[in-house]
Amino acid sequence: MTGTLDVALIGQRFMGRAHSNAWRQVAPFFAPPLHPFLHTIAGRDPKDLESFAKQWGWTHWTTRWQDLAEDPEIDLVDIGTPNDVHKEQAIAMLEAGKHVACEKPLAGTLDDARAMRDAAKKARRKSKTFVWFNYRRCPAIGFARKLVQQGRLGKILHVRAKYLQSWGFADTPLLWRFEKKRAGSGAHGDLNAHSIDLARFLTGEEIVSVEGAIAQTFYKERALLGDAAQLGGKSKKTKKAQAMGKSTVDDALLFLARFAGGAVASFEATRCAHGHENRNTIELNGEKGSVRFDFEDMNVLELFDAEVDAATRGWRRIMCTTADAHPYAGNWWPSAHVIGYEHGFVNMAADILRVLGGQEPELPLPDFADAYEVQRVLEAAQIAAKQGGRIPLREVK
Ligand code: SOE
């Protein structure tokens, strides 16, 4: 017999849709030990909330997220809100005895992230925490991790991560993502957070120092559009002067780092690279071979096996869609019937339900302590961008 997990979600925009879809899809595809019941959606915008709830199958809706803490029926609260409110919402839910699944980055600031990590530690007997580093759940990434663990690449020497987007040019208005007090940082926290998580996940190693960084805000002012502005929205081209506001985050941030095992790494995040819509790439070079992943071709992992004879050696393109061979693949479609962005979230929901139902996840899940380690690296890179030089991670807590 399967039990039920009553889920509530805060957030009704991009992540609200991605997470709602995950909770809706997961049971039929994975038959997890707990089935999610879509209990309540909380959102700030009363105008769209009821229709959002009905469209996605939420039973109740509220404009007060605090209601979720007070509702004894709710088991898990999923947080898909801007970074500045993660701390208050997550800690309130942990204090109310709920499990919490929070969007990445854990928070906008290291102080908030530390408070969240500490609250999770305090609540650990009753509550589990999870962080939606969704790219960990791409089958190709899980498979790359397996190859590293099996020693197929040998000792890892290089990690090369680039997360490039192109929606952040001058005509993009001042979304919350461009406000430091709401987002914490720009491309850095949004995109490098994913890359740092992937790098730690794939190598199984911690970053021990950041050695140099460049942050750049290419567009220091952006058109004010008010609260309703959405990702993907553009400023209208009008002859009238537009009211402008200050962008207070980076549009791009690049940094270098060292791993505990001796590997050297480079990270690049930008919202201003034409030709790259959502190009989340990572490459690992080891003594025996290399792997590379590009989210724009997310079903594929490329492998270069240096132990193959020189005459036939070359990059091998592996379609990671085969049941039993590649993580999560058996829960979806027959081989080569590819999956997409939303499946990472469904795969993650499945692992959350397995863990809460007493089973092992297919791949390890990041919790608040894990995401705090990512946040320390983000912070070290920001310090390096400001003051230059080498920032040992032991000094960033
Ligand atoms: C916007 O930059 C964004 O949606 C991020 O917030 C996500 O985490 C990333 O997956 C795609 O881009």
Ligand 1 atom nearest to 194, measured from its CA = 8
Q: Final residue of a domain: which of 104, 134, 164?
A: 134
Same domain assignment for residues 97 and 181: no
Q: Residues 124-147: pLDDT tens digits?
A: 999 999 999 999 999 999 999 999
**Euclidean distance between CA atoms 248 and 22, whole angstroms:** 33
CB distance 165 to ligand 1 below 6 Å? yes
Q: Please check whether residue 360 lies inside any domain of the structure.
A: no
Same domain assignment for residues 83 and 146: no
* Protein residue with its CA nearest to atom 3 in ligand 1: 190
How far is C-alpha 273 from the chain's CA centre? 20
Q: Please check whether residue 344 lies inside any domain of the structure.
A: no
Domain encompassing residue 274: 138-338+366-387
Return the CATH number at 248: 3.30.360.10
Q: For the chain, what is the domain count? A: 2
List the chain pLDDT tens, one digit each, 397 residues.
579 999 999 999 999 999 999 999 999 999 999 999 999 999 999 999 999 999 999 999 999 999 999 999 999 999 999 999 999 999 999 999 999 999 999 999 999 999 999 999 999 999 999 999 999 999 999 999 999 999 999 999 999 999 999 999 999 999 999 999 999 999 999 999 999 999 999 999 999 999 999 999 999 999 997 544 566 667 666 556 679 999 999 999 999 999 999 999 999 999 999 999 999 999 999 999 999 999 999 999 999 999 999 999 999 999 999 999 999 999 999 999 999 999 999 999 999 999 999 999 999 999 999 999 999 999 999 999 999 999 999 999 9
- Residues with Cβ < 8 Å from 94, sequence gap 6 or more? 100, 119, 120, 122, 123, 127, 129
Same domain assignment for residues 264 and 325: yes
Local structure of 112: helix, strand or coil: helix
Q: Please check whether residue 343 lies inside any domain of the structure.
A: no
Return the CATH number at 67: 3.40.50.720
CA of 234 to the centre of ligand 1 (A): 17
Same domain assignment for residues 167 and 203: yes
**Euclidean distance between CA atoms 327 and 139, whole angstroms:** 5
Ligand 1 atom nearest to 167, measured from its CA = 2
Q: Please check whether residue 37 lies inside any domain of the structure.
A: yes
CA of 190 to the centre of ligand 1 (A): 6
Quickly count: other Cβ atoms within 10 Å of residue 237's Cβ. Answer: 7
Same domain assignment for residues 10 and 91: yes
CB distance 278 to ligand 1 below 6 Å? yes
- Residues with Cβ < 8 Å from 129, sequence gap 6 or more? 90, 94, 99, 100, 101, 102, 120, 367, 368
* Protein residue with its CA nearest to atom 8 in ligand 1: 190
Q: Please check whether residue 396 lies inside any domain of the structure.
A: no
DSSP element (H, E) containing 100: strand 99-103
Which pLDDT score, from 0 to 100, does residue 2 have? 77
Same domain assignment for residues 206 and 321: yes
* Protein residue with its CA nearest to atom 2 in ligand 1: 190
